[in-house]
Structures are given as C-alpha cells and as structure tokens.
Amino acid sequence: MNEVVVTLLLIAALFAILASGVWIGLALAGVAWIGMQLFAARPAGDAMAVTIWGAASSWTLTALPLFVWMGEILFRTRLSTDMFRGLAPWMQLLPGRLLHTNVAGCTIFAAVSGSSAATCATIGKMTLPELKRRGYPDDIVIGSLAGAGTLGLLIPPSIIMIVYGVAAEVSIAQLFMAGVLPGVLLASLFSGYLIFWALRHPTLVPPADATLSLAQKVRESRHLIPVLLLIVAVLGSIYAGIATATEAAAVGVVGALVLSAAQGSLNWQTFRDSLLGGTRLYCMIALILAGAAFLTLSMGYIGLPRHLAEWIATLGLSQWQLLLALALFYIVLGCFLDGISMVVLTIGVVMPTVVKAGIDPLWFGIFVVLVVEMAQITPPVGFNLFVLQGMTGREIGWIARVTLPFFFCMAAAIVLVTLFPSIITALPKLLVRA
C-alpha cells in the first residue's frame, strides 16, 4: 500500500482515538498496534511487550521523576514564595516595574523545575495575587506569565531535554549546557517587550513602591539564597563532571528537602503531597513515552521514517527551508498534542532527515524545545493556557490572545538561534574541551 495512504490512515486513527477521550499514551500504543497488525510482518503483541518494557526500564529516564518531584517540593513549600520577596525590590527601576518579576521568577524557578506547567503554576501562585493587588492590568500580567512559564522547558534542568536526549541519543549534559544562553536570550526578549509595553502605556503601570536603599535591597535578596544554592548544587554537579544528570536529579531532591526542612516549611502533608503529585505527573509522562516508543518501532517496521526522509530529500529543501517546514509542523502539531508527546512521537521519524540535511542534532534539540515552547501557548491544547485558565477563571481564547506578543518573541528567538547557531553550541563546546 502507498506510504502516503498508510500515513494518512494512521494519523486519522490517532486523532479518532484521541477524540474519543483515550489517554495519549494508550492512543499512541493503539495506533502502533494497528500499524504493526495491518502493515508489518512481526507479531504486534510481542513487539509491544519488549518495547514498552525497554522504554519503562531506561536508566537515563530515572532523572525524569526526580526532577518532577523536586519541582513539586518547591511548589508546595515556602522556597517558591521567598523568591518574590527577593526579586521585587530590584524590579522597581525598570519600565514595567514588578511585571518583570514574572520573567525573572520563571527564569530562576525554571533552573530548578524542568517543567513548564510547574513553573507557570508556581510563579503564578506568587505573582498573580500580588500584582493584581497593586493594580497591574490583567492582560499583560497573565500574558507575560504564560510566555515566561515556557522557560521551564528551555532552561536546564529540563524534562523535555531529557526526553529528547534519550530519543535522539544526544548527551543530556550537553543539551542542558546548550539551553542556557537561549534561555537567557528568550528571557531578555520577554523583558524587552515588557519595557516596550510600559513605555507605550505609562499610565497603566502603577507607581513604584517605597524606594529601598541598596543595603535594604541586598537584605531582601537573602530570600533568593536557598533557591540559588539548589541551582548551583544541581547544575554545578553536572557541569563539573561530579554527577550524571540522574545523580544530579537526586542531589536536587535531597537539596530541596533539606532546604525546605531548614526553613520549617516541610511537614508530612507537604512531603506526601509532593511525592504523590510527582508520581502522578511522571506516570502520565511514562505512559506517553512507552506508547511513543512502541509507535516509533511500528513506524520503523512499516518503513515510514525512511520513506519520509527519502521524500523530503527529493524536495531539494535547503537547511533553512527544512527548518521552516519543521517549525510550522511542530506549531500545528502543538495545537493538538502536549510537548512531550510531540517530541517522542516525531523524533524517530524526523531525526534521519535532520541528520541527512547536515543539521547538528544538539542544535536541533534546542530548536525543537523552542518550537515546543511556542506550542505550550497555542490553543486548543496549550498546557500553560490550561494552567492559567484554572488559576484565573479566564477563557482559553482570551488568555491565548494576551499571550500572542510573547509567542512572537519566541519566533524572534528561533530566528536568532538559526542565524547565529553559536548561541546554542558555544557552551557545549566549552564543556567538551574541559
């Protein structure tokens, strides 16, 4: 049967199963089973058992539940609340003032979370009531939070980078290093837009709080010390070569528990809630990964990746044309699937084409993360939009509209890293030399 027809049938089956309300992981496994049963010679049941067991028992993926748990600990203890107190005094002199706490808070929390939804929810829990009380407009507050919350995917440690590293067989430590400068770039673009907005609408920005002396600002900054210590412990252990990504995740969990206990915000209830919350989130991710691993195997037996790569090769696309096509593909796919599903569902198909086009898999990993970040704020399936809808009660369409400027900031970041690839590759090269 023609490969295009097979592809269309499987895509139709996937969306039909998803539309019926079946979990994403089970939907992926179901489509894989259909593909193998109808279009491959190998028994589907045997292949499914071997593949799902292999995906579930991957040692590299051990880092994933640990980073998820670390983010849950921070979310439920006083460590996250202290971040606002430490950041706020330094933002008063910038145009837009405390609006920048959304960007700065998400940037810092992203360095210890790894999850876009957790970053958005945690920082939103701190900043939304505070900024509303001070009179900042809802549209720019919620829009900046939705945009900046996506930094949880880009700034290491990142859950989606671990998933990509496993799927594409790229060093996770190098991916973590590669995400630092693009993360800073994107945060700077977000803050730059807030400054532009504040200069255009000066009457909508509430007056500054009482001016603090430099000594008072430094004194308030002491609340940032615990989170900064945790960042240094996790990322420093990786980059210094002391620990692997999995071992550093364990360091992060222990550090989060120790710091929250030292502050007196850790009790049995918060420990239990964080453990159960992390377990629930990881089980969802693990099911998606297992289903996607089986689907990748199924696609391999059917031969779709090879035929797709050959078809794209016959189009004669240049590198930038291929990247533009893939960016549009991921943005459209993000309207229907979450970020992790997008990566695990497509990387096995896309990577042969990317490698054949001469694109560095390490650079492409950060490119994919940036595009997936954009998908976090595209309706109807934008995880950050869902998080903020639950927190604010606003409609998804309204939240997506006020987030649109930050979507374009991400598009600008993709253009910049494409024109200047060293933004991504410079730090990993230093790691290799060291």
242 in Cβ contact with 434 (< 8 Å): no
Mean pLDDT over 314-341 rounds to 78
Confidence category of residue 308, pLDDT binned at 50, 70, 90: low
CA distances to 78, 301, 303, 324, 424 from 307, in Å = 53, 12, 6, 20, 30
Mean pLDDT over 62-71 rounds to 78
pLDDT at 312: 67
Can you tell me the distance from the alpha carbon of 180 to that of 183, in angstroms, rounded to the nearest whole number? 5
Residue 176 or 126, more confident: 176
Can you tell me the distance from the alpha carbon of 153 to that of 4, in angstroms, rounded to the nearest whole number? 33
422 in Cβ contact with 429 (< 8 Å): no
pLDDT at 434 over 60: no
Mean pLDDT over 64-80 rounds to 77
Q: Which two tokens stand for residue 284?
A: 């969802």
Helix (H) or strand (E) holding 155: none
The secondary structure of residue 420, as a DSSP letter, is -
Mean pLDDT over 161-182 rounds to 88
Q: Euclidean distance between the first and final Cα of the chain, in Å? A: 52
Output the CA angle 258-261-263, nearest 5 degrees: 110
Can you tell me the distance from the alpha carbon of 367 to that of 372, in angstroms, rounded to the nearest whole number? 9
pLDDT at 276 over 80: yes
**Per-residue model confidence as pLDDT tens digits over 335-373:** 666 677 778 777 877 888 888 888 999 999 999 999 988
DSSP 127-138: HHHHHHHTT--H
pLDDT at 413 over 90: yes
pLDDT at 198 over 90: yes
Residue 115 or 326, more confident: 326
Residue in 379, 427, 387 with CA at minimum distance from that of residue 407: 379
pLDDT at 272: 92
Mean pLDDT over 314-320 rounds to 79
366 in Cβ contact with 175 (< 8 Å): yes
Q: Say what the pTM is.
A: 0.75
